[in-house]
Structure 1
Amino acid sequence: MSSKRPLQPLNDVQLNKANIQSPTTVKTPIKGAISKPDAGKKKKREKLSSLCKTPPSIVKNRHGRGYRRGHFLGEGGFARCFQMKDDTGRTFAAKTVAKASIKNEKTKTKLLSEIKIHKSMSHPNIVEFIDCFEDDVNVYILLEICPHQSLMELLKTRKIITEAEARFFMVQVIGAVKYLHRRKVVHRDLKLGNIFFDPHMNLKIGDFGLATIINSAHPRRYTICGTPNYIAPEVLGGKDVGHGFEVDIWAIGIMLYAMLFGKPPFQSKDVQVIYERIKNNDYKFPPDSLVSLEARQLIRDMLSTDPYQRPSMDQVLEYDWFKCGSFPSHITTESLKQKPKNLAFITKEESMINFANCKQQVGINDVPKHPVEILRTDLESERPRTLLPHSLSPDNTKNKYKEVSPVNIKPYKSKISNQLSKASYDNKMVYMLSESLSETLENIKLIETGQLQPDPKLVQKPQLVSKWVDYSNKHGFAYQLSTNSIGVLFTEGHTVLKFQDRSDIFLIHPNEETGWKVDHFQREQIPKDLSNEMQVIEFFDKYMTAHLSDVSSGEKHDQNGGVFLRRYTRDDNGIMFELSNGSYQFNFKDHHKIVLSEYGHYITHITPNKEIETLPLDYVLKNGNFFETPDDYFTVKYNFMKHVLREKISI
């Protein structure tokens, strides 16, 4: 650890506050760790992380981009972590592996597999992979920094957590693990110390050092690996048994037990005792604990010795435990120190809504992802003097290993939404869109200066985009309006719109003369060349009805065939919808939604609990917020919305 060069401190993240294991973490990464102790004095194994040299004060990647080294954050069995900051001020965690520890081809292959697997992941509850590069002595894996530590540190402080918090945490972990399993990846080292909190207190799975791929070529794995308290019994069987995806389900059960009862169920100071208890399923629930019977039943089933008797990820979420108590809409930093105060005030109805929203946010019902593959070219260095092959480097422009995500996040200050880029986007269409924006912005300006007062008697709740699925990498963007209308904005630029309980459809497509042209077809008149579109819209109709929750709390409006989604834009703050009736809907990442309707005359707020308040804009501006449903960040969001609309006009 020592170095002649002093550390260059960065003040925004403190020591041991990021997404790394604590220095005391014990891992069992190789078979030898499960051997019986020798009769004589046991030779202490060299800790490979000790070979890692402190990085220089500035580390540069292969493109010359510099990262300034900050605090030492901690270490695991193989690596040390340091804080890194780039020239823009963004802070990252750098997992640093000493090249001296990579002593053979097997170790090298393992590291490259970790990089390949982690690099291919894109999920809100998995630590984001940023970059990987090397210098003469170390390999650096640059990751999203998680400043609120891990579940392990939370449990050390709190001892136990509430069942309400555990429900929320479990859904986020299950969403991420289901994503891994759909991509044929088994993590194999899920534990409290590898589940980190991002700045918004959402959980992120990290450390893919033991992750592997399960496919037809390798249906089972036989390496004995993991962390003692979390190892599944079939892993201990080694080559005689083999293991698969079920080991992750076992580990989630261990984590749930630890969160609710304060320690893992098989814990002992002697590792061999832990293994014997695991093999015999020898654990008990503390008799004085108030943990519910529903939670205990879920734990029992997840900790079944027979891996095929454990519930699947989807089956876990069907257990009564998720529905028999409070489920918060989000977790705050209060949970890091104490039991949150607001849990007792969550109603059953709110809990069911929060549970459904949480499942949607973590992608429980998303379409299957392409499986991860490790190709020979991933593991072969193209240049003898370097460790990282070119195919895993950041300048790989072919993107042949990068998953094509259905979520294409685009900055607001960008070209017109990609969903219309293939259409004939001519001057008339641009004029129609900018004319609507101009009228909205002009009205907002007049209302802010007191020159225009909307009539409160005319206020109506606007039509909303109540459900949506972004599948633009294949078909298009599907949405449901609060009228129950279902539409798909296809990647070619046209829209098909249909109503519930009606057989006719509307075909809306760009037109050089009118901007938008609408064709109306009865069911028996639908052209054959629209048959594919009809299949797609029927699929999304059934999918959204079955799987997605409605933002508008079930309130429906009169049907209006003239309203459709003209375009949408996504960025890191959320998503913006532009409707054909002059409404602009902003769905923010904190699950609040704000709509400017009637060309800026009225404003609507939809809370995460689906409370809706619509008022004349001048009422809200005079009050500085909404009346019945105030938003703590209303002023920031309102100014942001105006900025976005102005940017749209300037494009």
Structure 2
Amino acid sequence: MSSKLNAATILDLKWAFDESKNKKYKKGKFLGKGGFAHCYELIDVDTNTIYAGKIVPKTMLTKPHQREKMTMEIEIHRTLSHSNIVGFHGFFEDQNHVYILLELCRRRSLMELHKRRKAVTEPEARFYLKQILLAVKHLHEQKVIHRDLKLGNLFLNDDLEVKVGDFGLATKVEIEGERKRTLCGTPNYIAPEVLGKKGHSYEVDIWSIGCIVYTLLVGKPPFETESLKDTYQRIKRNEYHIPSHINPEARSLIKRLLRSDPSSRPTAGDILRDPFLTAGFIPAKLPPSSLTTAPHFKNAHLPPSSARHPLAQVNSLVTETNVAARKVAATPVLADDPADWHLHSLLTQLINCVGTNPSEKNPTDYGESEDPASMPIFWVSKWVDYSDKYGLGYQLCDTSVGVLFNDSTRLLLGSDEASVQYINKDLAEEFYTISAYSESLYKKVTLLKYFRSYMSEHLLKAGGSAGERPVEEGVRLPHLRTWFRTRSAIVLHLSNGIMQINFFQDHTKIIICPLMSAVSYIDESKNFHTYKLSMIEKYGCSKDICNRLKYAKTMCERLITKLDSTPCDKATPSVRTPSLAPVVS
């Protein structure tokens, strides 16, 4: 049976029944697919508990080795219980499918973080690494080798805590000293002893962790090439390069983990005691904004080694003094400023996509052509045009608010309603709180509060502030880089590369992310759909989406022309004739 037919069968499912427990589950949102499985939300109708449901058609399990692999995955995963391992909540089957109920990790995986951020800061790398190691230490104590540790199998919950998942290639060590012989793994993370078919054990997971640490800090895998053959040759020769900006502790750890001789690699417990982890700052938690923008670490007590690399590691250090008088000594840091804010990459992707005339194709839509993992982390949910006097105010989807002032400065207030981020004309950032900020910002903070109140009163059903809240550590939001209005729409370009177009007539929106190579379309009924541009190229899309992509291409060209013509003042918005009162949407 074809994979398309399998997908169609799963699409037709509305409910799943566990007869052994007399349990009924409602099929919810599509979460993704991989290998034989399609993942949906499965909602327990009795408790409203939402699980990640891994659904496997039995037509994909006709061969003995396929059934054995699924049985092994279930048997291993069901025995594991650890805060950094995806929770296993049961399995059942019906006539056509096998269902596995797993912990739902709403923040996807470290792979999506990597695509949006490339390299992360050292405190973030430590934060994630420590949790990965705790999970792997537990696995190895349970005699389990994961064998497919990679960014895509390291899932994140709402608090950005790591959850190791996908035990499809995992195996159990039955006899002490046993060496496994199966050739398995993912090319960029596969250990040399696996390629050499010399037999392997727990050490392959340590090698994979080395590749993960390198990728998090450098922004790309250590052995990656354009061809599989060359990648394997580099792994066998242990041929990789650590950039000079990686600090000595991190460099030393990477070398320890990526030793060709598996017997010389440290254990997970050894790594937890490595100086990279023990001597460096590890944040207690990370904010959701770090999924798309490097966080700042306020009042971090950093060791001398960290202080040598302040921009790479902590983005900014803010020391507050004389809070009552709102006088704050802040160390500014340059905001992210890629050469073209990803615009040329975005334009290339749009040209390639619309050039295939996707609306003229006849896509066979089984409801799984979407890619929810590529949904944008931030987009503009509300905006107020008061550019005749002050600037453009806006609310992001997480309820944080910002203003792009007419003097090309920006001020943002986090969703915690406490953390404040100021960006001056030169794109240098300073971080304050709503109760402690520089006296020179008094007027702009007042205007920010006005914009927030106006949007709360006129654009939202709920009320405004719920009172002063504690400052969320590390919040650093993407800001509105520039904007302009046409007769048909408002075009908004964020500092993380997102281009958003809100159409006035039908209130539809299109949000395009060049880093994820994806487009999200919010239709007239406010339904949210996200697609990979490459999938639209290949299979086509509706005429509505196609027309908006063509319009986006023209708007992107306009943004590039504007950027090229104003190299010294990238932030100045181009606006229509000033209005007499705020224009809102």
Q: TM-score, normalised by structure 2?
A: 0.50
More relative contact order, 1 or 2 (CA 8 Å, 6+ apart): 2
* Higher Cα radius of gyration: 1
